[in-house]
Amino acid sequence: MRHQSYGVIPLKFGYLPLSVMKPERWLLCAASLCLLNTPAVSSVPVPTILAQAQGEEQTSIDVYRTVSPAVVTISTGRGSGSGTIVSPEGLVLTNDHVIRSARGGVVSVSTTTGKRYTGQVIATDRPNDLALVRLNTSDRFPSVKLSNPASIQVGQRVFAIGSPFGLSGTLTTGILSRVGRNGDLQTDAALNPGNSGGPLLNSRGELIGVNKAILSPGGGGNTGIGFATSATVARNFIQQNRNRTAPPITTAQSPSVPSTRGLGVTVDTGTLVVLGVQPGSPAANIGIRPGDRIIAINGRRLRGVQDLQTFLARRPASAILTVGRNRRLADVRVNF
């Protein structure tokens, strides 16, 4: 007796004779094989996906290049935060809680290039956690524009620049996650201590908010939820206070170094950063200016303002000062 041979169709787990399959199942299996053997085709071409990724990367680069020169680090001697220069004349927008501990409202402000200035707080808005600082200089600065309120939309890409943990010029990205009933902005862009007062930006490099807080239940760290005061509130605050003048620095506001046969400067007692220079004083004669930091006298490092006062009380004829400026040190002779 002759045996009839049967064709087989490969399946996932073995072989099944065609003779035992119903016609409609045979057709279904054949159709399935066609589907399995057809290469998958993406609905979006690979070059398009790459172009989109490169476009997003370039946007991040452009925002950082444009805005970072206008983002500063603010120090009070007891802590530090961030700020945004919002006018070429040196008006800085930051948080109230960043400058709250400043003696007499005097702060030290450093740019991303390391240049340091003295700033004076001219206005605060504690409910919205805002403050304005005016830099004591005639220099001109790059500045950041404030966004149109109508362009602030949930889901838009956002960028934060600041000085988390003192690391100036740090960029993080995310989206605008929510706009609260009080107008506050919520974002998933990474914010950490030191980002306070820095800008939250849109893809055009415009300020849409002032970063101010993170959600951290029980102090357990960053949960990925951050908050910023809206540019709408910030714009009104700036317009109302931008023409205020800074009050003069006095010895009642900031402890000063003795001026009788002294150096003739006002310094931050915590950092020894020069806050003011008396005209015609020994310090003025050798070119010391606000923002400089007095590091040492005659090669001996100063631990605080008391060391400087003690030295000057001896009424020396001259001394060699080690002064820090723009991340550089210089030894300068001063005659009293």
Residues designated as active site: 97, 129, 196
Phi-psi group of 209: left, alpha or beta (phi > 0 → left; psi -120 to 50 → alpha; rest → beta): beta
Q: How many CB atoms lie within 10 A of CB 231?
A: 28
How far is the CA of 333 from the CAs of 285, 320, 336, in angstroms? 11, 4, 10
> Where would I find the beta strands (DSSP E) of 180-305?
185-187, 199-201, 207-214, 226-230, 265-267, 274-277, 293-297, 300-301
End-to-end CA distance of the chain: 127
Structure tokens at 74: 């603010």
Give, as one character, the DSSP assignment of residue 181.
T
Give, as one character, the DSSP assignment of residue 8.
E
From the list 201, 70, 37, 52, the residue with the least C-alpha distance to 140 is 70
Distance (Å, rounded) from C-alpha 74 to C-alpha 57? 29
Q: In the chain, what's the furthest Cα-to-Cα distance?
A: 129
Q: Is the dihedral of CA 10, 11, 16, 22 positive or negative?
A: negative
Q: What is the dihedral of CA 9, 15, 19, 21, to 10 degrees?
A: -80
From the list 187, 162, 185, 183, the residue with the least C-alpha distance to 175 is 187
